[in-house]
Amino acid sequence: MIGPKKPSYGQYVVVDHGNGESTLYAHLDTVLVTVGQVVSAGTQLGTVGATGNASGAHLHFEEQVGGAVVDAWFHGAALPRNSSQESQNCGGAPPVVDVPMAGNLYGTKAAEMMVFRKANPAAYHVTRLGKGEQVITIGTAEDQPVLGDWDGNGRVNPGVRTPTTRVFELRVRGKDQTIRFGKPGDQPVAGNWDGVGAWEVGVRRPGSAKFLLRAADGTVTKVSLGDADDLPVTGDWNADGVTDLGVFDRATAVFTLRTLDLLGAEVLTQVQFGTPGAEGVMPVVGDWDGNGVTDLGTWNAATQTFYQRNAASPRSSNVKLGREQYRAGELPRSARARGANRANRSGR
């Protein structure tokens, strides 16, 4: 829930954590998220301000259970209502958050699995079977990762998008090019929207559940797909060389994949993969076997494990990747919450 400039709270954001628990952040100067956007630890919700009924710049914070305000706890102690406290985290390093990604970086046809580590500096950590982990530094903890074939050579390249500036930073052969596109709360995507040449950028706007696809000439195509709280995925679902759209519903663990038939009519296919409602599970897609068809997968933040689904043979495999050393084919550990990044959901 995102509030307008009202006399009391001013501009505010409410994050729904599930199980009837929510947190409220009020008197914001600017809001950097949108209704329905899924956020994770380290996501910047807005900037501190003095909007609404406030005598000076500060953050009004509330914890609620079942709609009732409860005492918040900071640094191991309860914070009484109507009191103030300076966070001991001010000026400190933001929490490290991993975002799962996949793509063909090295020309092997099959997609490599990787995580984008949101730190300062941020970096892609790429697994290559039989070789050491490759680290590609780009961006900061604030940035969102995006991969794409920016030069049309058949391999994806790293990129990031900074929400506050709306700027994509796309790296091609060691040089960065920039494109400003979308709104601060948008989720970045990329693909070969017309099947010709290099890839282009795009965004999905959670509030409207629309993809906005930018062409090389700057024109924009809008496509509605899924619900506001679904997560976007893109891939070539039918091996025709054109990047298709999709969304993943974490509540049902269902991928909804969109393709166009020979007459240009929309065709929707739904595939369930993963555990419905599982906490800390994110979608990740890639051509796992190099056959030209993008396959589906998921990543579990608690166990730092990828699960791959091969469309030709409905079975799953898993590869461990994260802050520890991975081994191909390693069975996932039990789902004990070891350093899990709890993904929050915001909505009305």
Reported pTM: 0.72
Q: Is residue 171 part of a domain?
A: yes
Of 79, 107, 122, the position where a domain reaches its end is 79
Same domain flag for 103 and 160:
yes
Question: Whose structure tokens read 């965004």?
Answer: 203
Residue 56 belongs to domain spanning = 2-79
178, 168 Cβ separation under 8 angstroms: yes
Are 71 and 119 part of one and the same domain?
no
Q: Examine residue 86 and state whether it is found in any structural domain, yes or no.
A: no
Residue 187 shares a structural domain with residue 272: yes
Position 227 in a domain: yes
Q: Is the same domain home to 108 and 223?
A: yes
- Are 188 and 41 in a shared domain? no
Q: CA 18 to CA 342: how far, in whole Å?
A: 11
List, edge to edge, every strand of the sheet that includes 112-118: 97-103, 112-118, 123-126, 134-137
Sheet of 187-191: strand order equals 187-191, 200-205, 210-214, 220-224
| Residue ending a domain, choose from 29, 45, 79 | 79
Shared-domain flag, residues 64 and 146: no
Q: What are 232-291's pLDDT values in tens digits?
A: 999 999 999 999 999 999 999 999 999 999 999 999 999 999 999 888 899 999 999 999
Q: What is the pLDDT of residue 153?
A: 95
Same domain? For 286 and 164 the reply is: yes
Q: Give me the pLDDT at residue 167, please.
A: 98
pLDDT by residue (tens digit) across 131-172?
888 999 999 999 999 999 999 999 999 999 999 999 999 999
Q: Is there a single domain that holds both residue 165 and residue 56?
A: no
Q: Is residue 182 part of a domain?
A: yes
Q: Do residues 202 and 189 touch, judged by C-beta distance below 8 A?
A: yes
Least confident among 80-89, 136-145, 166-175, 320-329 = 320-329
- CATH (domain of 213): 2.120.10
CA angle 152, 142, 119 (to 5 degrees): 90
Our count of domains for the chain comes to 2
The percent of residues in the chain predicted with pLDDT above 90, rounded, is: 53
Regarding whether 109 and 75 lie in a shared domain, the answer is: no
User: Same domain for 108 and 60?
Assistant: no
Same-domain check for residues 67 and 181: no
